[in-house]
Amino acid sequence: MLQQGHRRIAHIQGPHRYQVSLDRHQGYCDALTEEGIELDPTLVVEGDFAATGGKECACQLLTRPDLRPTAIFASSDLNGLWRFVGGGGMRTTCTRGCGSGWL
C-alpha cells in the first residue's frame, strides 16, 4: 500500500486481548513511521476477526464525515470484507444507515 502511494491507511485491528493483534498493530505503526507518516488514531478501529466485524469496521471507516482512508490494512483476511467489494473501487453496502461509499 505504501509503495502504491497510499498515505491515509486505516487499520482494522484484531481484539486487544490477543498478542497477535498487538503485534500486527505494532507492525502497522512501524511501517508508517518508516515512511515518515504520523499515526492517525482515528484510522484505527478494533475488529473481532469475524466477517461481520470486518464489514462493520470497514463501513465505519468508509463513511467518515471527514477524510476517509485511501487503503485499509486488515489484521486478518476478514472474508466478509471481500463479499461487498465491487466495481473498480471498494464499495460498501453497509447496514444500519451507513449508506454506501467508494474508496
For residue 79, the model assigns a pLDDT of 39
Nearest residue to 69 (alpha-carbon basis) of 6, 15, 23:
6
- Domain of 30, CATH number, reads 3.40.50.2300
Confidence band (pLDDT; 50, 70, 90) for 34? very high
Task: Summarize the chain as % helix, strand, coil (round to 5).
Answer: 35, 15, 50
For residue 6, the model assigns a pLDDT of 92
Considering its fold, how many domains does the chain have in total? 1
Does some domain include residue 103? no
For residue 85, the model assigns a pLDDT of 52
Is residue 75 scored above 60 in pLDDT?
yes
Give residue for cell 467518515: 64
Percent of the chain with pLDDT over 70: 74
Does some domain include residue 95? no
Does some domain include residue 4? no
Residue range(s) defining the domain that contains residue 55: 9-82
Does some domain include residue 60? yes
Does some domain include residue 49? yes
Does some domain include residue 37? yes
Alpha carbon distance 99, 4 (integer Å): 28
CA quadruple 67, 69, 70, 75: dihedral, nearest 10: 180
Does some domain include residue 74? yes
Residues 39-58: tens digit of each pLDDT: 999 999 998 887 777 888 88
Nearest residue to 25 (alpha-carbon basis) of 5, 47, 57:
47
Give residue for cell 473498480: 88
For residue 30, the model assigns a pLDDT of 96
**Rounded mean pLDDT of 69-97?**
58
Confidence band (pLDDT; 50, 70, 90) for 68? confident
* Cell numbers for 93: 453496502
Does some domain include residue 89? no
